[in-house]
Amino acid sequence: MVKAKSLLRAARRAQTNAHAPYSRFRVGAVVQTARGRLYTGCNIENSSYGLTICAERTALFNAVSAGERRFKAIAVVADEKGYTSPCGACRQVIWDLAGNVDVIMSNGSGDVRIVKMIDLLPHPFGPKNLKTRRRGKT
Ligand code: THU
């Protein structure tokens, strides 16, 4: 299992940048690469609500756009009493780009819960399902 503390600290820092004027629901996230680097993200809302992006995808896209491809864990923090678990869209994106990583969640009281991605997205559809269709390097 991963060491959650430093990841949660980074996610909390990212949460301060959340742009959530519509929901007021502020979320921070961080992904940890296989080599131990951290990339953060926050939710960024849009006046055209559907264009909002969650903190988890911001963090993951931040890492991928920096050239990272192998991941160990993702952490997500919010201020609620319960844990904030990645939404359905984020589960698919996390599975596709990061695979069966540890998902660390922390609530507003600082309690921590760690689950595996496969438990959040059982029987997933992913890159392997398209393997026979891929041609060459992309
Ligand atoms: N949100 C996240 O950033 N991550 C989650 O895991 C759940 C939801 C954001 C999207 C939106 O800005 C706000 O929280 C309310 O749904």
Residue 67: CATH number of its domain: 3.40.140.10
In a domain, 137, yes or no: no
**What is the distance in A from the centroid of ligand 1 to the CA of 92?**
15
Domain that holds residue 103: 4-130
**What is the distance in A from the centroid of ligand 1 to the CA of 36?**
25
Does residue 77 line the site of ligand 1, with CB under 6 A?
no
CA distance 138 to 135: 8
In a domain, 136, yes or no: no
Active-site residues: which are they?
A: 56
pLDDT at 133: 62
DSSP type of residue 69: -
DSSP type of residue 133: G
Residue 47: left if φ>0, alpha if ψ -120 to 50, beta else—which one?
Answer: alpha
Per-residue pLDDT of the chain (138 residues; tens, 9 = 90+): 568 999 999 999 999 999 999 999 999 999 999 999 999 999 999 999 999 999 999 999 999 999 999 999 999 999 999 999 999 999 999 999 999 999 999 999 999 999 999 999 999 999 999 987 655 555
Burial 96-107 (b: 16+ CB within 10 A, else e): ebbbebbbbbbb
pLDDT at 135: 58
Domain count, the chain: 1
pLDDT at 109: 98
In a domain, 60, yes or no: yes
